[in-house]
Amino acid sequence: MANDDYKRQAAERALNYVEPGMKLGLGTGSTAAQFVALLGEKVKAGLDVVCVPTSEATAAQARALGIKLTTLDDCPDLDLVIDGTDEFTNDAMLIKGGGGALLREKIVAAASSRLIIIADASKRVETLGKFPLPVEVVRFGLRSTKDMIIEVAAGAGCVGDIVLRLGPDKQPFVTDEGNNIFDCAFEAIDEPDSLDMMLKMVPGVVENGLFLGMAERVIVAGPDGIEEVESPDYTDFDDLEEAP
């Protein structure tokens, strides 16, 4: 089976978490696009949900499918976000932003009660960092910002090539928020919390692609079937015995 089939299987499973009347966040990327396509079918069949997209690309797809869209300004508290990822660990830590939408994705995820990630099994890693960490930066002062990223990353034990992402036109890639992205090939991020904290201290850095303790679960589809990797911080209140 191809990765696209696994992405679709994970997206199908994620539909189980969607309930009528929900306020949903819609992720970005090829896996999230599979979910949006399936959601579009449900909406056509009568499902009533309202959604906040995490990118212009997702907004365009959802609009074309007749999915009702809103903004975080009109709807600041979401029930559930379904999004993809570039990497995930067995404790549901993530690297996101390969598709360039990490800033809106993080804002939307933070505004939601739940974040559920869908992925094919090729995205699973022991340690984050094999996928170059995207760091979104303002366009002013790129060189100084890069130098500071190198410095703080070294302080968190991370060294590697840092390159300015280019678009298909070979010009610096510009995010939906008008920023650029540095892709940081650290290979292994042994202290993700400290790297996240250090990167946030660099003035030109807007956000980074580490999503730590944000995802409730990762729905993984692969040759061995579908598995749900739960965050160790997640509590299923339905499973707790009622107090006497």
Where along the sequence are the contacts to ligand 5RP (CB under 6 A)?
Answer: 27-32, 83-86, 96-102, 105
Instruction: Kindly tell me which of 85 and 145 has the beta carbon lying closer to ligand 5RP.
Output: 85
Angle at 224 between CA 223 and CA 228, to 5 degrees: 115
Angle at 53 between CA 51 and CA 54, to 5 degrees: 145
Using alpha carbons, select from 163, 154, 173, 213 the residue that is nearest to residue 55.
Answer: 173
Contact 59, 101 (CB under 8 A): no
* C-alpha span between 127 and 197 (Å, rounded): 18
**Set 105, 136, 207, 216: catalytic member:** 105
The token pair at 179 is 């920023």
Any catalytic annotation for residue 105? Answer: yes
Strands across the sheet containing 133-137: 161-164, 180-185, 133-137, 205-208
Instruction: Kindly tell me which of 55 and 145 has the beta carbon lying closer to ligand 5RP.
Output: 55
Least distance between ligand 5RP and beta carbon 142 (Å): 20
| Amino acid at residue number 108 | V
Least distance between ligand 5RP and beta carbon 119 (Å): 7
Least distance between ligand 5RP and beta carbon 198 (Å): 21
Phi, psi of 199 (to 5 degrees): -60, -35
* C-alpha span between 141 and 149 (Å, rounded): 12
Instruction: Kindly tell me which of 97 and 222 has the beta carbon lying closer to ligand 5RP.
Output: 97
Q: What DSSP element (H or E) covers 191? A: none
Instruction: Kindly tell me which of 98 and 132 has the beta carbon lying closer to ligand 5RP.
Output: 98
Instruction: Kindly tell me which of 27 and 222 has the beta carbon lying closer to ligand 5RP.
Output: 27
Segments in the chain forming alpha helices (H): 3-14, 30-44, 56-64, 102-110, 142-155, 192-200
Least distance between ligand 5RP and beta carbon 171 (Å): 19
Least distance between ligand 5RP and beta carbon 65 (Å): 18
| Residues with a known catalytic role | 105
